[in-house]
Chain A
Amino acid sequence: MTPSLSETQLDALRELANIASGTAATALSQMLAREVEISVPRALALPPADAVDECGDPEQHVAGVVVPIQGDIEGMVLLLIPHEQAEILCALLGVEAHTEVGDSALREIGNILATSYLNGLGAMTGLELEPSPPHLHSDMLAAIVSTLLIGTAGADDLALVLDSELDVSGDPCSISFLLLPTSGQISDLLAPLGLADPSA
C-alpha cells in the first residue's frame, strides 16, 4: 500500500517535477523553434478515481504517448495532447497528423521529452533512468489515465501523479506531462533527497 506522503515530500516531488519539466520544455522549444512555457507542476497523491479527475475532462479525446521507464525506478512518463492540438503540433513539425508519419512524430516528441525529463530527474537524484520505446494511443482521457494508473498503483489506495503543463507560445497548443511512478518506487525517488521517511 502506498503510504500517504507528507507535505515536505510532496514539495520535494513538485520541485523535482519543476526542474525536470524545465529540461523537457527546453527540448521541446528547440524542436519546434518556439518558446515553451511551463506551468507550476503539481504533485498529487490521491485515490486513483480522484487522480483521473485531476487530469482533465474524462471524455476528452487525446493522443497519449506513453514512455515506460527502465532503470532504478519503475513507472512511466505520459504525454497527453488534446486531439486538435496534436494536429497543430504535427503542423509545427511539418508533418500531417493522423498519418503514419504524424504518429511517428508524436512518438518521437514523447521520446525526446521523456528522455530530457528523465535526464533532469536523474541529474538531481543520481538515479539511472532510461526511457523505453514510446507507445501512442488516441482515446478518451479517462480510459488512458485510468488504465495506466491501474498498472502503476495496482490495488493501492493512492496513486502518485506529478504533472506539469507545457504551453507552446503563439499557438493554442499545450501538452500535459505526467510522471506516474509505480507504487513502492516513490521512496526510491525521495531517498536521494534524504526524504524517504514519510515523517520527514
Chain B
Amino acid sequence: MASARMGEMMVSRDSNEELVALGLGSCIGLAILDRTAGVAGLAHIVLPESSDRADQVGKFADTAVPELIARMRSAGATERRFETAIVGGARMFEMSGGLDIGARNEAAVRAALSRARIPINAAQTGGSSGRTMKVAVGEMLVTVREAGQQAETLLEGRAGRVAAGAGAAR
C-alpha cells in the first residue's frame, strides 16, 4: 500500500500496488486510470490556488492536476484513455467566518481537469464526512469509504468490466 499524504501524488504501473489517500476531509483525492496502459495515478490535493508558488506542486489544484497528467504520460499513459474520479471536498465544520475550502478545492480541481479537456467519470464530493480513497492498480478499481461505512465502487475494476461485457454480448 502506498499512501499519498497531503500534497503528495503517485503514479504506478505495478499490478500489486494499491494507492490510497486516507482521511480526506476538505482535501481532494484525484484518481486517473489508463486501463489499456495499466497505469494509475492518485493525487492528494490540499488547496485550490498555488498563487505562482513553484514549490509543492502537489499541494495546489492548479499545479497538481497538470503535474499528475504529465506523470501519467511519462509512465506510458495516453490522455484520451483517461478515466478519472474525484473524492473529498467536505465541509466538516460549520465555523463562523470559515471559508468553504472543500468546495473551493473541488471547483479548482474540476476547472483544472476541464482546462486539460479531461472528463470526470465519477465523483463523491461535498457533504460533511471525511473519506478514504483507494486505487487498486492491478484491478483498475477505485473505491471510496466514509468512517464506519462500507466501501463503494467509483470506477469499476477489470473483473466487473469483463462480466458486464460478457452480459452485453449474450
Contacts and interface: CB of A to CB of B under 8 A. Distances in A.
Interface of A: 47-49, 52-53, 58-59, 61, 66, 68, 132, 135, 137-148, 150-151, 154-155, 157
B23 interface: yes
13 contacts: A49-B8, A52-B23, A139-B92, A140-B147, A142-B23, A143-B25, A143-B147, A144-B130, A146-B27, A147-B25, A147-B101, A147-B130, A148-B93
Interface stretch (B46-54, B77-85, B107-115, B162-170): B46-54
A48 B5 CA distance: 9
Interface string B95-139: 110100110000000000000000000000000111110000000
A59 B23 contact: yes
A150 B8 contact: no
B35 interface: no
A24 B129 CA distance: 29
Contacts of B75: none
A151 B148 CA distance: 25
Given A137-B93, A147-B26, A155-B51, A59 B98 contact: no
Contacts of A148: 93
B95 A66 contact: yes
B130 A140 contact: yes
A135 B95 contact: yes
- Interface range for B: 20 to 34
A148 B130 CA distance: 12
Contacts of B148: 61
A150 B24 CA distance: 12
Contacts of B33: none
Nearest to A139: B130
A50 to B, nearest CB: 8
A62 to B, nearest CB: 9
Interface string B30-65: 000000000000000011000101001001100000
Contacts of B23: 52, 58-59, 139-146
Nearest to B101: A150
A147 B92 contact: yes
A85 B102 CA distance: 29
A144 B92 contact: yes
Interface string B137-150: 00000000001100
Most buried by B among A148, A154, A155: A155
A147 B56 CA distance: 18
Most buried by A among B5, B7, B56: B5
Given A61-B147, A139-B130, A150-B101, A52 B93 contact: no
Nearest to B22: A58
Contact of A59 (B8, B22, B102): B22
Given A61-B147, A155-B51, 9 more contacts: A49-B7, A137-B128, A140-B130, A142-B23, A143-B92, A143-B130, A146-B24, A150-B27, A150-B47
A41 B60 CA distance: 32
Contacts of B69: none
A73 B7 CA distance: 27
A154 B104 CA distance: 14
